[in-house]
Amino acid sequence: MEDVYSRDLPFGTLVTAMVTPFTEEGSVDFDAVARLAETLVSEGCDGLVVSGTTGETSTLEDQEKEDLFRVVAETVGGRAKVIAGTGTNHTAHSVEMAVRAARAGADGQLVVTPYYNKPTQAGVLAHFDAVAAATDVPIMIYDIPGRSGIEIHTETMLKLAERPHILALKDAKADFSAVTRVMANTELDIYAGDDGLIFPWMMAGAVGVVSVVAHVATQQFRALVDAASCGDLKTARRIHFELDPLVRAVMTHLPGAVSAKQILKMQGILGNTAVRLPLVEPDAVEMEPVLTDLAEAGWDFSRPTRQYSATTNTDESV
């Protein structure tokens, strides 16, 4: 297996798709954004997606997005890759956001399959070509048919891989056969786009993950990615099992942005859990399964520090 650290990766290896902190009044809390970015990088992230799905990109204004790109770049630029979420279902708008990302100092951009419109594969290809031609900022394509309504066919992905500014794929399709073909036939850097699939995807050759759950267990995710990258199957497998209840807590009961903000507040990282409509904060009943999964992971929130992440199991006999 290739040692991904033997070359410079334009998007990093442990990439957290950052939430966007808001004030209680609903405006972007840029001070909290900077603090969160600093925390994530100091604990092991070498890449951050800004204004992605978990960042509530669909309810951010264009200027807010550009300001977010700039604040995060000024805070952690040079220590982590800043990846701007620029993709929309409107090609001209996506081009504009690519230009804004370049102006704000982003290192890369995450461009999702155009959603809702359901274009043909020719339209998908033309959309990504237009965004790629707008700037020199490298692109990570985001294939997530559960949100976009369409998948990127493997043949289309193989064509896109030939474009000079398209360097990576965030795969959230969960089609192992399809991602295997892309790994085997392109030079794209592949990222698991599903927190529960980091282990198998990296064992096959993915270079890392774009994660939501890494917000709340950054060091454990760092250890998993490092072990998988080095081919340490035993350690990677153990951490994969340890993280399973945390992945369920964040990703299966509520929208990821909602659950991540709730847990970040419990950890003392965020001051509030505000989200923008149509997202709403959960009630006690909705939080119950989240708390149950956290308890299964052994998390203790009675201590108001970042150290309540579950005690790592050092028994490697698993």
Give the active site residues: 142, 170
277 CB-contact burial (10 Å; exposed 0-12 / middle 13-18 / buried 19+) = exposed
Task: Give CA separation, 50 vs 67, 129, 277, in Å.
Answer: 10, 22, 19
Beta bridge partners of 191: 170, 208
Residues 149-187: b if buried by 16+ CB within 10 A, e if exposed:
ebbbebebbebbbeeebbbbbbbbbbeeebbeebbeebe
Which pair of tokens denotes residue 181? 């073909």
In eight-state DSSP terms, residue 109 is E
- Report the amino acid identity of residue 243: L
Cα(221)–Cα(227) distance, rounded to whole angstroms?
Answer: 10
What is the CB neighbour count within 10 angstroms for residue 232? 16
Three-state secondary-structure class, residue 178: helix
DSSP for 24-71, written as a single string: TTSSB-HHHHHHHHHHHHHTT-SEEEESSTTTTGGGS-HHHHHHHHHH
